[in-house]
Chain A
Amino acid sequence: EDQVTQSPEALRLQEGESSSLNCSYTVSGLRGLFWYRQDPGKGPEFLFTLYSAGEEKEKERLKATLTKKESFLHITAPKPEDSATYLCAVQGGGTSYGKLTFGQGTILTVHP
């Protein structure tokens, strides 16, 4: 059974204070790891897909990295508008196509 654990559960940062969110996973054959951002009352917004260890993706202040056991979402010089819940999900080789296993999310708050 695929498992995803995100840490920390909540993170408070000052504007400009860089940090990282962690997503640890256990799957039998990773097909893909996905990062999403979710604002209150909205659906998850797709950020990145990572497929193999060593892969990195960047978008504005966000950078996602992947190893064989975990993924990090690095946030550089965050702004208040980066405040949201960040969700990590995996598609494992032992599960049906289309079925994602989500972590519980990290609630990020960035204070001005």
Chain B
Amino acid sequence: DTEVTQTPKHLVMGMTNKKSLKCEQHMGHRAMYWYKQKAKKPPELMFVYSYEKLSINESVPSRFSPECPNSSLLNLHLHALQPEDSALYLCASSQDLARNQPQHFGDGTRLSIL
């Protein structure tokens, strides 16, 4: 079991739907991340939050909207997604950005766009 919890584990949605992915950690970490991973590829960074503020946006399309309501929670709001957005979405957390500590990953949400 990981200490980063992601819900739901699986999500199927149409291209016109709006849904949200949720991530929670209780390790006291102040940096949180969203990644996208396609089959047989390494994770690709999407967003980084540091102390609840957006620190990095890797030029992600606006149909993906991140939110960090507090230091333990991270959401990814999805709207008008495309079939190519089908992937495993991973959340990660680390102590903070400056200390080069490892990132700890959740088990992801498997997203399928119809």
Indicate whether A59 reaches chain B with its CB closer than 8 angstroms: no
Indicate whether A17 reaches chain B with its CB closer than 8 angstroms: no
Instruction: Tell me how many residue pairs across A and B have CB atoms closer than 8 Å.
Output: 63
Stretch at the interface among A40-48, A62-70, A74-82: A40-48
**Which residues from chain B contact A32 at a C-beta distance below 8 Å?**
100, 102
* A55 CA to B97 CA, complexed, in Å: 22
Interface residues on A, range: 20 to 34
Secondary structure of the B contact surface, majority rule: strand
From 14 to 61 in chain A, residues with beta carbon under 8 angstroms from any chain B beta carbon are 31-32, 34, 36, 41-46, 49, 51
A105 to chain B, nearest CB (A): 6
* A100 CA to B56 CA, complexed, in Å: 12
**Which residues from chain B contact A43 at a C-beta distance below 8 Å?**
2, 4, 6, 90, 92, 105-108
**Which residues from chain B contact A103 at a C-beta distance below 8 Å?**
42
A46 touches B41 (CB 8 A): no
B104 touches A98 (CB 8 A): no
**Interface residues as binary, B94-106 with A (CB distance below 8 Å gives 1, 0 otherwise):** 1001101111111
A104-B41, A104-B42 given; A98·B107 CB < 8 A? no
Q: How many residues of B contact A (CB 8 A)?
A: 29
**Which residues from chain A contact B31 at a C-beta distance below 8 Å?**
98
Secondary structure of the A contact surface, majority rule: loop
**Which residues from chain B contact A45 at a C-beta distance below 8 Å?**
2, 105
Q: Which residue of A lies closest to B104 (CB)?
A: A46
Stretch at the interface among B43-51, B59-67, B73-81: B43-51
Q: Which residue of B lies closest to A31 (CB)?
A: B100
A102 touches B42 (CB 8 A): yes
23 contacts between A and B (CB under 8 A): A32-B102, A34-B103, A41-B88, A41-B110, A42-B108, A43-B6, A43-B105, A45-B2, A46-B105, A49-B100, A51-B100, A91-B100, A96-B48, A96-B55, A97-B97, A97-B98, A98-B31, A98-B50, A98-B97, A100-B45, A102-B42, A104-B41, A104-B42
